[in-house]
Amino acid sequence: MSSAPASASPHPDVKKVLFDEDALRARVRELGACITRDYAGRRLMVVGVLKGSLIFMADLLRAIGPEVDVHVDFVAVSSYAGSASTGTIRVLLDLRENPEGRDVLVVEDIVDTGLTLSSLTETLRARRPASLEVCTLLDKVSCRKTPFQPKYKGFEIPDEFVVGFGLDYDERYRQLPYVAILRTP
């Protein structure tokens, strides 16, 4: 069986790799250490936002130390048509556990306009968690349409269309083990 690594050469649709596996691993480890320090001795409800967060979430969870009592949950949200202007989201899959009184950390792959996260955090805050923070792998700070500041972020990126490590274009490329700029589709 061939043992060539999946990342030996980038996907032909990729224009440029922004963060390779080593860079992602190192940064996720740092974020995990930071979260471990901040929540040591506490119970933390880590909420992945499907689907884009799935790879980051899996790696981040393994980077959080045993000092934190981690519980895992997921939400799936979808923007209403025209949401780019309204910022309203629809919850497709809700939490299994009640967030009331809990320390909640929402995990996202990317914050772009900020509309999804500001709407989602508003929805969650109405359910009275003890604390609510957001950890995103990528942050397109220049694209905000609403003020939103995640507490934890992996990397700030320019206004480019990125795929890989969970991020898709038309549901493709999520499995790429790096974050890359796509050639103009």
Nearer to ligand PRP, 68 or 117 (CB): 117
SS (H, E, C) 128-143: CCCEEEEEEEEECHHH
Question: At its nearest, how many Å lie between ligand PRP and the CB of residue 83?
Answer: 8
Question: At its nearest, how many Å lie between ligand PRP and the CB of residue 109?
Answer: 5
- DSSP 3-state of 5: coil
Question: At its nearest, how many Å lie between ligand PRP and the CB of residue 77?
Answer: 7
Q: Which residues pair with 101 in a beta bridge?
A: none
CB 185 within 8 A of CB 172: no
Question: At its nearest, how many Å lie between ligand PRP and the CB of residue 181?
Answer: 16
Nearer to ligand PRP, 29 or 174 (CB): 174
Q: Which of 112, 139, 159, 168 is catalytic?
A: 112
Sequence-separated (6 or more) residues with CB below 8 Å from residue 96: 73, 74
* Catalytic (active site) residue 112: yes
Binding site for ligand PRP (CB under 6 A): 49, 51-52, 108-117, 168
Nearer to ligand PRP, 83 or 131 (CB): 83
Dist. CA 154–CA 156, nearest whole Å: 7
69: left (phi over 0), alpha (psi -120 to 50) or beta: beta
Nearer to ligand PRP, 96 or 172 (CB): 172
Residue numbers annotated as active site: 112
